Every structure is written in structure tokens, then in C-alpha cells.
């Protein structure tokens, strides 16, 4: 099972994305977002990125999603929508699940999936070969490179986040 762990985690990832894309109330969307964040962390960790996975848990789930959860709890309505409460939501959820199940069966049965581009079966998702150089971990080197060669990226993304806050404050301020 461990060779297929990334595949299983990706399937759970997609299913939880379907879960919040079918638009139940934001509280339930946040719930499946927690699941998808945790599963995404698992996927990254299986490729050797332990630091980035912990970043997902700490910053994304522990910071941003907590704030999102609190603001949604303040703005929630009396009878929030669940996946089974509204026919539309349930229909979209089941449709997404059905498509995912059919895709998984297609991937498992045939050698290649040639829908948009070619997957060679489950081969890319299995863990036994990750193409590492063995001496140093690529992912920590990547983080180090972000702060040395990638200083411009840090500046641009930092500015984008700052302007994001300005924009949100400006939009919600009203007249």
C-alpha cells in the first residue's frame, strides 16, 4: 500500500475539493479544506518535503484557515447548507464523486491515461523512485534559494500580500 500512498492521498485530495466546490455553507467548506490541507501535506511529505508539509499545517491550516473559520462563524446563517440539504449541492457533489471514481478506475485498469496529457499509469504517483540526488534534500535547498537567488520573488510576493490587505480593506470599507 505504501507504494500507492500518493495515489490514494491524491484521490482523497480531489474528493475533498469536490466537497467544497459543490458549495455547501462555508463552515463545511472549511471542514473539507482542513482535510484537503492535511492530505496535501501528506502528498508533499511523501516526496521528501517535510518542511513544506509542516508549513502547510502551520501557516495554511493553523493560521489562515483558523481566521477563516472564525470569520465564517461570525457571519453564518441559521440553517447552513450541508451536502444533502439542497438538491443542487448534492447533485454536484455526486457528479464530482462519480467522475473521480470513473477516472480512478480508468487509471487503475489501463496502462496509460491519455486524456489531456499522458500519465503512464500509476507509475508517476508511486514512491519508489523520486529521482533525488541523494546527498542533499532538494526541498530545503529550494527554500534557501528562495531567500538568496529568489529575492525578487520574495519582494514581489510580499508586496502582493500587502496590496491584498489594502485591497480587501478598501473593498469592504464602503463609502
Partner 1 sequence: MNPLIFTTILMTVLLGTMIVMMSSHWLMIWIGFEMNLLAIIPILMKKYNPRTMEASTKYFLTQATASMLLMMAIIINLMHSGQWTITKVFNPTASIIMTSALAMKLGLTPFHFWVPEVTQGISLTSGLILLTWQKLAPMSILYQISPSINLNILLTMAVLSILVGGWGGLNQTQLRKIMAYSSIAHMGWMTAVLVYNPTLTMLNMLIYIMMTLTMFMLFIHSSSTTTLSLSHTWNKTPLITTLILITLLSMGGLPPLSGFMPKWMIIQELTKNSSIILPTLMAIMALLNLYFYMRLTYSTSLTMFPSTNNMKMKWQFETKRITLLPPLIVMSSLLLPLTPMLSILD
Stretch that binds partner 1, among 46-54, 57-65, 74-82, 166-174 (CB under 8 A): 166-174
3-class DSSP state for residue 139?
helix
Of the two residues 94 and 132, which places its CB atom closer to partner 1 in the complex? 132
* Sign of the four-CA dihedral 156, 162, 165, 167: negative
Q: Which of 22, 16, 15 is nearest to 87 (CA)?
A: 22
Residue 170 near partner 1 by CB under 8 A: yes
Using rule CB under 8 A, residue 163 touches partner 1 = yes
- Of residues 1 and 165, the one with the C-beta less far from partner 1: 165
CB-CB contact of 112 with 118 (8 Å):
yes
Stretch that binds partner 1, among 35-43, 83-91, 94-102, 167-175 (CB under 8 A): 167-175
Is 166 among the residues that bind partner 1 (CB under 8 A)?
Answer: yes
Per the CB < 8 A criterion, the answer to whether 15 and 100 are in contact is yes
Which of 70, 145, 156, 158 forms a contact with partner 1 (CB under 8 A)?
A: 156
Least Å from the CB of residue 73 to partner 1? 24
Query: By CB under 8 A, which span of 78-86, 98-106, 126-134, 155-163 interacts with partner 1?
Result: 155-163
Q: In the block, which residue shows the cell 438538491?
A: 87
Sign of the CA dihedral 77, 78, 80, 85?
A: negative
Among 117, 128, 129, 149, contact with partner 1 (rule: CB under 8 A): 117
Contact range with partner 1 by CB under 8 A, out of 36-44, 72-80, 89-97, 148-156: 148-156
Neighbours of 125 (CB within 10 A): 19
| Helix, strand, or coil (residue 132) | coil
Q: Which helix H or strand E contains 51, and what residues bound it?
A: helix 50-55
Q: Point out which residues bind partner 1 (CB under 8 A).
A: 116-117, 152-153, 156-157, 159-160, 163-164, 166-167, 170-171, 174-175
Amino acid at each position: 500500500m505504501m507504494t500507492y500512498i500518493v495515489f490514494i492521498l491524491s484521490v482523497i485530495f480531489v474528493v475533498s475539493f469536490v466537497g467544497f466546490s459543490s458549495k455547501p455553507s462555508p463552515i463545511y467548506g472549511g471542514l473539507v479544506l482542513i482535510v484537503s490541507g492535511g492530505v496535501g501535506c501528506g502528498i508533499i511529505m511523501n516526496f521528501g518535503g517535510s518542511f513544506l508539509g509542516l508549513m502547510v499545517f502551520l501557516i495554511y491550516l493553523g493560521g489562515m484557515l483558523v481566521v477563516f473559520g472564525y470569520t465564517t462563524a461570525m457571519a453564518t446563517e441559521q440553517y447552513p447548507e450541508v451536502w444533502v440539504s439542497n438538491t443542487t449541492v448534492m447533485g454536484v457533489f455526486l457528479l464530482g464523486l462519480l467522475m473521480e471514481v470513473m477516472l480512478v478506475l480508468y487509471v487503475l485498469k489501463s496502462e496509460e491515461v491519455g486524456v489531456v496529457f499522458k500519465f503512464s499509469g500509476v507509475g508517476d504517483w508511486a514512491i519508489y523512485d523520486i529521482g533525488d540526488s541523494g546527498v542533499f534534500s532538494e526541498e530545503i535547498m529550494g527554500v534557501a534559494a528562495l531567500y538568496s537567488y529568489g529575492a525578487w520573488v520574495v519582494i514581489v510576493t510580499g508586496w502582493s500580500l500587502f496590496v491584498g490587505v489594502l485591497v480587501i480593506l478598501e473593498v469592504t470599507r464602503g463609502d
